[in-house]
Structures are given as C-alpha cells and as structure tokens.
Amino acid sequence: MFEFITHTLQEYPDAMLEQEARVQAILHHQKDPCLIFSQHPACYTLGTSGHMDDVLKTEPCGQSIPVYKTGRGGEVTYHGPGQLMVYVLADLRKKQDLHQHIWNLEELIIQSLQHFSIQAQRNSRGIGVWVGDNKIAAVGVRCRRWVTWHGVALNISPDLSHYQGIVACGMQDNPVTSMEKQGLTVQRETLEKVLQQHCLSLFS
C-alpha cells in the first residue's frame, strides 16, 4: 500500500517532524510508505554537503528568508510558494538500493513532465531533473535503516529571483527554470494527480 498526503502550506520544520515520525512508524511496521505533497514558505535549506558560504544573502529582493540545516543529501537549495514538494517515504529494506531510489525520483518527475509535453532529462552536472541546461527539480534524500525521506522540489511557478540568494546545488551560474518559465500554466491539483499515477508504478 502507498498513502498520499497533501498539505496546502506547511512550515519547513513541521514537514521534517512529520517525516521523522512517519519514518519511525514505517520502521516499526505501524504505517505504510507514503508520498507527501507540500509547499513551504520561502526558505533556504542546507544539505549534508552544504555550507553557509553558499548562502550569499538572506534578503534577496528585500524579503527575509530563513535558513534551515537538514539531514538530506545535497548542498543548498530554495523552497517557497509555487514550488511543489514531493516527499517520498519509501521502504527499501528488501531492495537496499539508494541509487535506484534516486533514479526513480528523477524518473517520477521526467515522466510526469512528459505528460505536460515538457521534455525533461537527467544531466551530468548533477542529480535532479533538467530542461535543456536548466534545472527544474532538485532531488535530495536521507535514509535511515533503508527507509527514505525528503525527496523532490519541483518548480511550478516560484519566484526564481529568490535563487539569487544562494549558490544553488553548488552551481555558481544558478541555472534554474520552472514549468511556468517553460510556457506552461498548470494547477497544482492536476499535477499531483499525474504524479500519483507515476508514483504507484515506480514505488509500489
């Protein structure tokens, strides 16, 4: 079984607490794996490879943006309104292949964007999903005893100027894009339905 959970808006620390609790429940066979859709107020997050030096300014465009340290893999990234968080809490204890899990996360986004006629792919510059030379989705995961959490940040229509405050994923040229910038307007609910369909085929 795979459960789907949706939050309209959720503070980033609250999202981490929810996932920590769910991971413990999955480890103890009390709850099933799940996919959590969420959206956060504007914030920067530092992964295990991230450094505060990569946070260039916390007030781009005059808006103060908090910084949170997090246990996911990766460097520094941005979360905010107009970005869909796709948190996949998966039980890998039978397969124990984290590289395959990350590939599946990327594939989830690639197949879903294909549904909207956006041609996305992987890129040798780093983990994530790209449209041409620009990153449309960042991927970062954490794994505890082969149960994963964190996941994907997919840019639907965020304020891309907020990326100017960081060296996103260690890339100085900050090559980011969004579905909106690719000329597509899509409702979050519509996108979530497509993601759910592909999630079941990839993670069930």
Cα-to-chain-centroid distance, residue 142 = 12
Among candidate residues 34, 43, 143, 169, the one labeled active-site is: 169
Dist. CA 28–CA 114, nearest whole Å: 37
H-type alpha helices, 2-158: 12-27, 98-115
| Position 72, amino acid | R
Dist. CA 115–CA 92, nearest whole Å: 27
Around 94, how many Cα atoms within 13 Å sit in the side-chain half-sphere? 4
Give catalytic status of residue 61 as yes or no: no
CB 128 within 8 A of CB 169: yes
Active site residues: 169
